[in-house]
Amino acid sequence: MNDHWTLDDIEWAQFDAAKVDEDLLAAIKAAALVEANAGDYVLYLLNVFSDRPDVCASIEQWGREEEQHGAALARWAEHADPTFSFERSLERFKEIYRIPVGAEESVRGSRVGEMIARCVVESGTSSFYTAIKEATEEPVLQDIARRIAADEFRHYKLFYDTLQKLDETPTLWERAKVALLRVNEADDDELASAYYAANTSKGDGVVYDRKKFAAAYEARALGLYKRHHTNRAISMIAKAVGIAPHGRFMRMLEPIVWKVWQRRTRKAQAVAA
């Protein structure tokens, strides 16, 4: 992961303000904060894998790339909305949301569980940025999303390969349970507080409400997905769990997941309206 793109590789002069979608902009602002907060996850994962210097080196590089994602998205958002201050928003976000960086063992119960959870996250982010790339007409955001999506697919492989090298042997149910719990955490405080911090201003009187701001984020983000995006995400999750990603079970599951996804999108849009 050493030969990596930089912000200087992006053609910022091609930015086209006329092609900025305001709803997508709001979601990008929130995503920038989440990506930029990778440093806390690095500290946590370094504790979990403290006796594995090889894994720690990869985690540190992963963290640098995630923070760069945040920087790229933040610069784009500041181009699209000159009133947006990434630094102030990030400070507010960190006041609201923190992860247990002092934990010495995985909160998932095992290192295998931790890597499955990371695979779930990378499955979601790779699909999310692919969906953004295909949805937006703004050329600079297309380029950024393309680059980030490629990174996230590669990060998935990093965590999947690490998972395969661990000597723990949880059951299929235990692995699936970790994945399901991590999927359900998608509506926790992280994204809701990021959306709040990025899209409200300190002193404007808007009070943080997790349900309200989680719905506001989901209303803008989930609607970007097409069925091939959700199919790809769940196949990647299945692979991490140990289920054949393109087997009969997954073919049966795909339309069910898509219907649930559409229903969740409509619900979020109704709450956010």
Summarize pLDDT for 134-150 with one digit per residue, the tens. Answer: 999 999 999 999 999 99
Residue 13 lies in a domain: no
Residue 252 lies in a domain: yes
Tell me the two tokens of residue 57.
Answer: 């080196």
Residue 101 pLDDT class (50, 70, 90 cuts): confident
pLDDT above 70 for 2: no
With the C-alpha atoms ordered 8, 137, 191, 95, is the resulting torsion angle positive or negative? positive
Question: In the predicted model, what is the mean pLDDT of the chain?
Answer: 94
Q: Cα(229)–Cα(235) distance, rounded to whole angstroms?
A: 10
Residue 8 lies in a domain: no
Per the structure, the complete domain to which residue 165 belongs is given by 18-272
Domain count, the chain: 1
Residue 10 lies in a domain: no
Residue 102 CB-density burial (10 A; 0-12 exposed, 13-18 middle, 19+ buried):
exposed
Residue type, 2: N
Residue type, 142: Q
Q: Residue 137, by phi and psi: left (phi above 0), alpha (psi -120 to 50) or beta?
A: alpha
Q: Cα(140)–Cα(14) distance, rounded to whole angstroms?
A: 6
- Which pTM does this prediction carry? 0.94
Cα–Cα distances in angstroms (integers) from residue 215 to residues 99, 105, 206, in the given order: 21, 32, 16
What CATH number should be reported for the domain holding residue 225?
A: 1.10.620.20
Question: Strand, coil or helix: what is 83?
Answer: coil
pLDDT the model gives residue 225: 97
Summarize pLDDT for 8-30 with one digit per residue, the tens. Answer: 999 999 999 999 999 999 999 99
Residue 111 pLDDT class (50, 70, 90 cuts): very high
Residue 123 CB-density burial (10 A; 0-12 exposed, 13-18 middle, 19+ buried):
buried
Higher pLDDT, 73 or 105: 73
Tell me the two tokens of residue 211.
Answer: 């349900």
Residue 203 pLDDT class (50, 70, 90 cuts): confident
